[in-house]
Structure 1
Amino acid sequence: SEESDGKLIEDSLIQLRCHFTWKLLIEAPEIPNLENKIVEEIQFLDTKYNVGIHNLLAYVKHLKGQNEEGLESLKEAKDLIQKEHANQADVRSLVTWGNFAWVYYHMGRLAEAQTYLDKVENTCKKMERTEMDCEEGWALLKCGRKNYERAKACFKKGFEVDPENSEFCTGYAIAVHHLDGFNTATERNEAFSLLNPDDVYIKVLLPLKLQDKGQEAEGEKYIEEALTSMSSQTYVFRYAAKFYRRKGSVDRALQLLKMALQATPTSALLHHQMGLCYKAQMIQIKEATNRQPRGQDRENVDRLTIMLKATFEMAYVDLAEMYAEMGHHRKAEDIFQKVLCMKIVDDHKKQEIPYRYAINHYLNKWDLIKLHKKMSYSREKLLNALEKLAKRHVHRNVRVVESFSLLGLIHKLKGEVSDALLCYDRALRLTADLNPMF
């Protein structure tokens, strides 16, 4: 029977080694931020390990109930395997196949789940255990501090078997770096020796380690070399900014953070780093004036206070968006209202915060029109973003009537009358289908 088939498949799925069985410690409030980090990495980090990151994105999509989108990410991973590892595609595909099987199982598509289980069974005897340890290590490493110790253990097992394998070396070094205060001096020195300056990601990690060891001048050479590269620039800017802030070159750090924000303007991490820089500048001024700034120094402190406050305002917005993404709309609304009631001085923030509020909430007709008039300089940005959001909801079959109504209003505000009428007509037809008595 279908029920017994499902139980047999479930028993087989539990035996797989993949993201669904690795017990990745991810709490619900962390999911939106993790997804953003994954998407940023796919977009901005040039790395040899992209197959794993697409697999992790598929798992995160599943956690959000978006299994169709999860399948798309797994197809991306499958295409990358064929492109980058064609000579060992079967071995490299085991984790991806396992994830396919789990997603299809959760979608109730048992035949497809069984197909991928068969692929795994036919191939797994060729697979070295260390290969799976490496895949698991990268997944754990991406999922936050609670997973770092297990990630280190996975990479260490692989590294001890194959010390020449660059994936094991890089993963182990990064895990030890993240756990710096919890490792022995021997482990830290061993990991430090494994850092390969030819890897762009490592090229900005290595200077921070050199800085810790009192070799700042040597570290700065690697930073400047990385900054001349066109590869992974957003990541380079982020770590280089941290290096210069710790060095005391706060102006340089701020310059780099602003460049990184151009690519990822909603990054909570970057806004936090900006706040640390403003705080450092305030401390510098206060110490130089014996904590009694006057005249221009007083004005600079006041200006920095406002800018520091702005970073906290955006942190509140990030938190509200996270709650909205999780479906906790009441919490999101409460936080947004708190921010919207703040006395915001920065002109950009005056428009950015209502804009992001609009993106995360379906506004009623009159609210949207008022907001549209109020935000004249970014009206196209607002309408395009809302249009994208509404179309995504239509595609996912979420609040479809409201989504078509919103699309109609957007087309109307853009002057696209015929398109507006088509959307309004579609919304009315759907309403009639849902309420046949009318």
Structure 2
Amino acid sequence: MDQLRTKLDQLECHFTWALKKDDIDLNRLDEQLKLDVEKKEELTQTYNALAYVKFLQGFQEETLSNLTTSLKLYKECHEEEFNKSLIVTYGNLAWINYHMANYSECESYLQKVQKINENLVFVCSRECFKKALDLEPEVDKWNAGYAIALYRTEYGEFTIENSPVIKQLRRAIETIPDDDILKIFLAMRLVMYKSYEEAERLVEEALERSPNHPRVLRYAGRFFSKYRSLDRAISLLRKALELSPHSGFTHHQLALCYKMKKIQLLQEGNHHTRSSMVQQIRDQIIYHLEMASTHATGFIKAMSDLALHYGEQHDVSRAEEMFQMTFETAKEKNYNLHVVHFYYAEFQLYCKRDEVLAIKHYMACLKMNPGSHEGKRSEYKLNRIAEKHMNKNTQDGKAYGILGFIYKEKGEKSQAIEGYEKALSYRENDEYLTNLCALRLST
């Protein structure tokens, strides 16, 4: 069995790329399945990624089903059973059969991978696309695949000159000059380094070449929404929706744009004179979130945000009902539960004015996924709550308990111990004592 696992660890597939659920956008995959329904080559890759998400969620049978579908679609396009394009699919199939204790099937797929590698004189490794590029540097599929993989996962400290993802996106565009989505991906990264002129030129070029491509319009809309051209973003997303009216992802992007508009209006002051405009925008947000939740089943972020907006409308019972449904969906899918905790904390804090419950759910979110956007926002909100309490009373035990929890989750044990000790000195609490004892025992 150990020898089998060693072989599996050497494969190049989703199971060996150290991906997490948050590295793969489930709703984006659902969108691709709808948009690429006639493009079997693209669908084979999408089903591979979807299969791995299902595995991370704990659904092994669905994982196997999606991989089987991927293989079936490939065979509908090609007669060759040992093509290099199948390395990832066979690798994934070997892994899932191993996890399901189908060891003979696992061995069979390992042999298929080995045969492909022998034909290619190709050594398996974790970085599939990079190795493929080393062998065939001009193949467009490998260049695009590696560029997208880097785009989804690379967020290190780089400059515009040494960023691997920018370098690879440029290379991919050189090999596939008509791939307009790659151009928008490059633009999205360029603006992170304040290269606005080139970024906007790339997006405009993509729009000029593909004015009626729903995904190009959608990504371009996302680009403009991130860099505060909200009206342009909304216009592009509305056009994308006309071309693909059942796109939950596009509805969600429109909702996010209108949320930014709402925030801008509220920040401008004169809230009473603008209240009708705010309400109109809130109606748009709710409409698009409802459509996103309808057309993309199990869209946790859209469902959570929708529940929060029902709360903003003072429809508390409807909000609670929606939140409970979303909690159940997230638990059933084993996906994005931390997101629901964050939005429910926001609902408790701002709609029900229940700080105790808000703290509980911010903590749950931070504990589950500290590196996510929602996890970071939860840490910020908890710090703000602690700061507010300490401004009123420097000996507030609850504030020090919150800070102790934050430090504990960040792995800063000495500061966490200090926080819990101060919390206990100002306020009796069994939870603080339990955490303090656990921290002391672990040091």
- Are 1:204 and 1:240, in contact at CA under 8 Å, matched by a contact in 2? yes
- Judged with a 3 Å threshold, the aligned counterparts in structure 2 of structure 1 residues 58 and 306 are, in CA distance, closer, same or farther, namely closer
Count of aligned positions: 310
Select which of 152, 157, 160 maps to 1:182: 157
Select which of 9, 12, 19 maps to 2:14: 19
1:127 matched to 2:120? yes
Cα distance in 2, alignment partners of residues 245 and 128 from structure 1: 46
Cα distance in 1, alignment partners of residues 104 and 117 from structure 2: 20
Alignment of 1:260-279 (within 5 A): 260=241, 262-265=245-248, 267=249, 271=252, 274-279=255-260
Match of 2:351 in 1: none
Match of 1:303 in 2: 280
Cα distance in 2, alignment partners of residues 237 and 51 from structure 1: 24
Q: Offset of 1:64 from its aligned partner?
A: 3.4
1:97 matched to 2:97? no
- Are 2:51 and 2:66, in contact at CA under 8 Å, matched by a contact in 1? yes
- Judged with a 3 Å threshold, the aligned counterparts in structure 2 of structure 1 residues 129 and 12 are, in CA distance, closer, same or farther, namely closer
Q: Offset of 1:214 from its aligned partner?
A: 1.0
| 1:357-410 C-alpha deviation (Å, 9 max, x unpaired) | 69959xxxxxxxxxxxxxxxxxxxxxxxxxxxxxxxxxxxxxxxxxxxxxxxxx
Q: 1:279 corresponds to which letter in structure 2?
A: M
- Judged with a 3 Å threshold, the aligned counterparts in structure 2 of structure 1 residues 247 and 227 are, in CA distance, closer, same or farther, namely farther
- Are 2:12 and 2:91, in contact at CA under 8 Å, matched by a contact in 1? yes
Alignment of 1:231-380 (within 5 A): 233=214, 235-245=215-225, 249-258=229-238, 259-260=240-241, 262-265=245-248, 267=249, 271=252, 274-280=255-261, 283=264, 291-292=269-270, 295=273, 297-304=274-281, 342=311, 344=313, 353=322, 360=329
Q: Offset of 1:116 from its aligned partner?
A: 2.6
Question: More relative contact order in 1 or in 2 (CA 8 Å, sep 6+)?
Answer: 1
| 1:236-274 C-alpha deviation (Å, 9 max, x unpaired) | 232121233356542342244455484233x4x863663
Match of 1:416 in 2: none
| 1:264-308 C-alpha deviation (Å, 9 max, x unpaired) | 33x4x8636633444246527965xxx44675x453244335656
Select which of 166, 189, 194 maps to 2:140: 166
- Judged with a 3 Å threshold, the aligned counterparts in structure 2 of structure 1 residues 358 and 161 are, in CA distance, closer, same or farther, namely closer
- Are 2:188 and 2:223, in contact at CA under 8 Å, matched by a contact in 1? yes
| 1:55-100 C-alpha deviation (Å, 9 max, x unpaired) | 2322333333433322222222222333445457343333323332
Q: 1:263 corresponds to which letter in structure 2?
A: H
- Are 1:316 and 1:339, in contact at CA under 8 Å, matched by a contact in 2? no
Cα distance in 2, alignment partners of residues 323 and 162 from structure 1: 40
- Are 1:71 and 1:100, in contact at CA under 8 Å, matched by a contact in 2? yes
Alignment of 1:92-241 (within 5 A): 92-129=85-122, 155-156=129-130, 158-174=132-148, 177=151, 179=154, 182-188=157-163, 190-191=167-168, 193-194=170-171, 195=173, 196-206=176-186, 208=188, 212-215=195-198, 216=200, 219-229=203-213, 233=214, 235-241=215-221
Q: What secondary structure is seen at the aligned counterpart in 1 of 2:97?
A: helix
Query: Which piece of structure 1 moves more, 269-278 or 107-116?
Result: 269-278
Cα distance in 2, alignment partners of residues 274 and 224 from structure 1: 25
Q: What secondary structure is seen at the aligned counterpart in 2 of 1:263?
A: coil
Cα distance in 1, alignment partners of residues 158 and 232 from structure 2: 31
Q: 1:244 corresponds to which letter in structure 2?
A: F
Cα distance in 1, alignment partners of residues 4 and 201 from structure 2: 58
- Are 2:234 and 2:257, in contact at CA under 8 Å, matched by a contact in 1? no
* TM-score between both structures, scaled by the size of structure 2: 0.53
- Judged with a 3 Å threshold, the aligned counterparts in structure 2 of structure 1 residues 60 and 218 are, in CA distance, closer, same or farther, namely closer
- Are 1:58 and 1:69, in contact at CA under 8 Å, matched by a contact in 2? yes
- Are 1:155 and 1:168, in contact at CA under 8 Å, matched by a contact in 2? yes
Identity across aligned pairs (percent)? Answer: 25
Q: Offset of 1:226 from its aligned partner?
A: 1.9
1:70 matched to 2:63? yes
Cα distance in 1, alignment partners of residues 300 and 272 from structure 2: 42
- Judged with a 3 Å threshold, the aligned counterparts in structure 2 of structure 1 residues 181 and 283 are, in CA distance, closer, same or farther, namely farther
Q: Offset of 1:198 from its aligned partner?
A: 0.7
Q: Offset of 1:164 from its aligned partner?
A: 1.3
- Judged with a 3 Å threshold, the aligned counterparts in structure 2 of structure 1 residues 108 and 253 are, in CA distance, closer, same or farther, namely same
1:37 matched to 2:32? no
Q: What secondary structure is seen at the aligned counterpart in 1 of 2:210?
A: helix
Cα distance in 1, alignment partners of residues 147 and 114 from structure 2: 33
Cα distance in 2, alignment partners of residues 121 and 360 from structure 1: 40
- Are 2:220 and 2:236, in contact at CA under 8 Å, matched by a contact in 1? yes
Cα distance in 2, alignment partners of residues 357 and 168 from structure 1: 38
- Are 1:203 and 1:223, in contact at CA under 8 Å, matched by a contact in 2? no
Q: What secondary structure is seen at the aligned counterpart in 1 of 2:82?
A: helix
Unaligned runs of 5+ in 2: 331-443
- Are 1:279 and 1:308, in contact at CA under 8 Å, matched by a contact in 2? no
Cα distance in 2, alignment partners of residues 337 and 292 from structure 1: 26
- Judged with a 3 Å threshold, the aligned counterparts in structure 2 of structure 1 residues 227 and 97 are, in CA distance, closer, same or farther, namely same
- Judged with a 3 Å threshold, the aligned counterparts in structure 2 of structure 1 residues 357 and 182 are, in CA distance, closer, same or farther, namely closer
Q: 1:89 corresponds to which letter in structure 2?
A: F
- Are 1:192 and 1:209, in contact at CA under 8 Å, matched by a contact in 2? no
Unaligned runs of 5+ in 1: 1-5, 138-153, 325-331, 362-438
